[in-house]
Amino acid sequence: MECGDEMPTGDMLNKLKMVNMFLLETLRLYSPVLLIRRKVGTDIELGGIKMPEGALLMIPIATIHRDKEVWGEDADEFRPERFENGVTRAAKHPNALLSFSSGPRSCIGQNFAMIEAKAVIAMILQRFSFTLSPKYVHAPTDVITLRPKYGLPMILKSLKL
């Protein structure tokens, strides 16, 4: 790992390409927010549908993130390598990843969230190996944000004796 036993720095975290790809693929399949709501600013036509000013537009992130026309036949599979050439080349549309939204209304905390997640993962991997507990039940649930309904029990083993 790029960090070794040292406290990860910003430069080190930026070099953790596989961790970044892992996070992006996790966000694609299990985006914390399942739906984006936007108010239409002016009368528009979108995909042949007329949308009047003031209408509420719902963007189904979870559906788009698993759409085979957008992400390919393996859209339901966990494949971090799809982000090997960056977010804009991972799908058939450069703005297909909507975990933090896109454009001028995208999440202001996106970069902080990604750096923080990479730091936590790096520090855990420096100290532990882990496996999923046999007690884990895969049941994502939407309670404000997407989360495991029954938690995420893990078996941790210290790497340092």
pLDDT in tens, the chain (161 residues): 567 778 888 899 999 999 999 999 999 999 999 999 999 999 999 889 999 999 999 999 999 999 999 999 999 999 999 999 999 999 999 999 999 999 898 999 999 999 999 999 999 999 999 999 999 999 999 988 999 999 999 999 999 86
pLDDT value, residue 161: 60
pLDDT value, residue 4: 77
pLDDT value, residue 160: 80
Annotated binding-site residues read 107
Annotated binding-site residues for heme read 107
Is the model's pTM score more than 0.85?
yes
Assign 3-class secondary structure to the chain.
Answer: CCCCCCCCCHHHHHCCHHHHHHHHHHHHHCCCCCEEEEECCCCEEECCEEECCCCEEEEEHHHHCCCHHHHCCCCCCCCHHHHCCCHHHCCCCCCCCCECECHHHCCCCHHHHHHHHHHHHHHHHHHEEEEECCCCCCCEEEECEEEECCCCCEEEEECCC
pLDDT value, residue 57: 93
